[in-house]
Structures are given as structure tokens and as C-alpha cells.
Structure 1
Amino acid sequence: MQADPSELVEITPEQYLVDIDLVYATANNLAGRPVYAQARCALRPQAAACLLRAARAANRAGCRLKIFDAYRPPRAQQIFWALCPDPRYIADASQGSNHTRGIAVDVTLVDANGVPLDMGTGFDAMEDRSHHDRDDLPQQVQRNRSLLLGIMLQAGFRSIATEWWHYELPDSKRYALLDDPIVTAVPE
């Protein structure tokens, strides 16, 4: 089912005051190859509004949000689930992902020079050290994660326990899964 054109809005650096590095449009990701056919970032309007609030809050703190992923087509979700069938980190493709609903975004913070703040692990590090509330991480990493968490929660997102980078709208099940051509998966 194709979404109505109005169901997703494209996120651009100029309009949303963010940096965008869609890693799944490159080979620098857990699949080791491009999964997205194009580097387009999109969210539902409700999530995009929260993202703009978060970006403004990050700017007030002297930082910028950097987006790694947002809307994810169903075919991409199937690829990731096949590579890592661990529901702590990847939603079962048969159930759908909140990324596929267009309401989830994977982000970090960068400083005024565009240098990423140290979050203790890289994006998509499927390991315990990626979880929130870790007592075994350096204090600066704890501060950076707390800053990101505060910015995103204040903007209206919620976090998940296992990924410091993942934020989504509450009540996710009220949003339908989408298969929108604004972002497509690379055919295998």
C-alpha cells in the first residue's frame, strides 16, 4: 500500500536545523552495503514537528542533531531482521518497525564544529554498552547521553532502553505501517 503523499514529509538540513547522514544509503552500516536506494530522510508530520523542537533545543545547548535514520521501508526492515533477528535491537519485520511507521528517528549530537559527541558506542552497536542507564561508561559519555535524552524527551519523543540513539513518538501502534516511495530499498 502506498502512503498518501501527505503522510510523510521530507526532512532537510535547512528546514529542520539538523545534519543528515543516512548510513543505510551507504555501505557503512550493519548490512555492509547500501540498503536504501537514495539518501532521503522523511518522517510523519507529527514526528517532524518533534524533531524540529529537538533541533532547536540542541542548538540552544550549542549542539546540532545528526540523523542516522528516520522512515525505513518495509523491505529494509526485512533485510535488517534477517541480519540481526534480536528484538532488543531490530523489530521483527513481520510485526513492523516504528521506523516503518514513520515515527522513529535515530540521532546523535554533534558540537558546533560538526564533531560527534562521544556516546560510548557507535550507532547500531548491538551490545549492552548501547543501553541507557549504564554505570560502566565514562562520566562524559553519561553526560552526552543524558543531554541527548533530555533534548529528545522534552521535544515529545520517548526512548527505548537498548539504544541510546533511537527515539520515537509515544503510542506508536496508532500509526499505520507505511510503504512510501519517498525512500526505497535497494533491490537484491
Structure 2
Amino acid sequence: MPLVPIDRARHEVEIDLRYATERNFTGRPVYARALPLLHQDALAALEHAIAQAKTLGLRLKLLDLYRPPEAQWKLWAHTPDPEFLAVPWRGSPHGRGVAVDLTLMDSEGRELDMGTEFDAFTPRSHHGDAGVSPEAQRNRLLLLGLMTTAGFDFYRSEWWHYQLFDARARYPLIADGAAAPRMM
């Protein structure tokens, strides 16, 4: 499998896999195994974004990476909302290892204001929502610029979600049991 592990120190990122904890919209852990994995193509793009953020004195905080299709079914069973969750029978870019949910942190490790929390399933989470503060708009646009320049596409309903282009067409779903990472 082309999934590779993400390492905090090596990649100079913070990792907080929310679906491995109770701090997500379901209120309970969703993952059977909490491993920070990405497809090698997505990792190459992410490394570019990490380097760009570093030149600005910022760091990335990764909130979700590879999400097993089995976990996608659990999320959908809890909240079947196609605006914010990929329908599990089509599969998510996360289940292909080519999506990342993230935010920005300053040099002191504080998350920048993005106007809503991660996984806030409301219109306020949309890119360009005028209801968030100008500071949050600037921070969202900064994240958007970093990620799109690095080669990611964005999802209009979620300021935190980025994925490689044509994810469903170019990358197969990877079941949890088949997600053993390739060591670098």
C-alpha cells in the first residue's frame, strides 16, 4: 500500500487525530486504530505546505488524515449529512489516503482563529462565509493559499478539508486492514 506514516518531529507538525478520541461530533472514538497515515502523493503535497507555512512562522495541526471506509460508515450512521460527510457507499477522499483536515498554529503553538471549530457542521464552516470575523477570514484564506499552492483542492463547505484533485477517480479506497503503512 502507498500509505506512509506522518511523524510529528520529522514532518514538524502537530497531530491531533480527533476521530481517535471523544473530541469529535460523535462524542466517542471512531477509529479502531489511530494511525496518522497519508498516501505518498498527498504526503509530498503536504510537505510542500509545511515548508511554506514555516516560512511564515506557522505550523500545521493535522486533525484527520487517512480515514478507513469502516470509520466513514460509523460517521454516516451518526450524522447522515452529505454536505459535510461523504456518502460511504461512494467513499471519501480520506478513505483513499489523499485528504487532510487541518488548521494553522502560530509559533507559540496556538491555533489561529478560523471562525468555527473543526467539524462544525454549519454554514459558518463554509469558505467565504461572511459571518466569521475578518481575522478568521484572513486565516482561512491563508490556509487556502498554502494548501492550494501545495497542490490540494479544497471543499467549499469545510474550511479545514483539503484533498488531492480527482481523488475518487485516481485513488482506490483502502480498507482498514489493508492500511499497513509503508515505512520510509
The question of whether the paired residues in 1 share the 8 Å contact of 2:3 and 2:179 is answered with: no
Instruction: Say yes or no: does 1:110 pair with 2:105.
Output: yes
Pairwise CA RMSD? 1.4
Instruction: Say yes or no: does 1:130 pair with 2:130.
Output: no
Query: Hey, what does 1:175 align to over in structure 2?
Result: 171
Instruction: Say yes or no: does 1:97 pair with 2:96.
Output: no
Encode CA deviations 1:48-85: one digit per residue, 9 max, x unaligned.
Answer: 00111111111111110000000001110001111111
The question of whether the paired residues in 2 share the 8 Å contact of 1:27 and 1:33 is answered with: yes
Name the % identity.
49
| Whole-angstrom distance in 2 between the partners of 1:143 and 1:153 | 15
| Whole-angstrom distance in 2 between the partners of 1:41 and 1:138 | 31
| Whole-angstrom distance in 2 between the partners of 1:157 and 1:67 | 15
Local SS of the residue matching 1:77: helix
Encode CA deviations 1:161-185: one digit per residue, 9 max, x unaligned.
Answer: 000000000011211111143769x
In structure 2, list runs of 5 or more residues that go unmatched: none
Instruction: Extract structure 1 runs of 4+ deviating beyond 3 A.
Output: 180-184
| Whole-angstrom distance in 2 between the partners of 1:114 and 1:181 | 34
Local SS of the residue matching 1:153: helix
Q: 2:3 aligns with which of 5, 8, 12?
A: 8
| Whole-angstrom distance in 1 between the partners of 2:172 and 2:63 | 22
The question of whether the paired residues in 2 share the 8 Å contact of 1:22 and 1:69 is answered with: yes
The question of whether the paired residues in 2 share the 8 Å contact of 1:40 and 1:182 is answered with: no
Instruction: Say yes or no: does 1:73 pair with 2:68.
Output: yes
The question of whether the paired residues in 2 share the 8 Å contact of 1:101 and 1:175 is answered with: yes
Give the TM-score normalised by structure 2.
0.93
Q: How many corresponding residue pairs?
A: 179
Query: Hey, what does 1:163 align to over in structure 2?
Result: 158
Local SS of the residue matching 2:51: helix
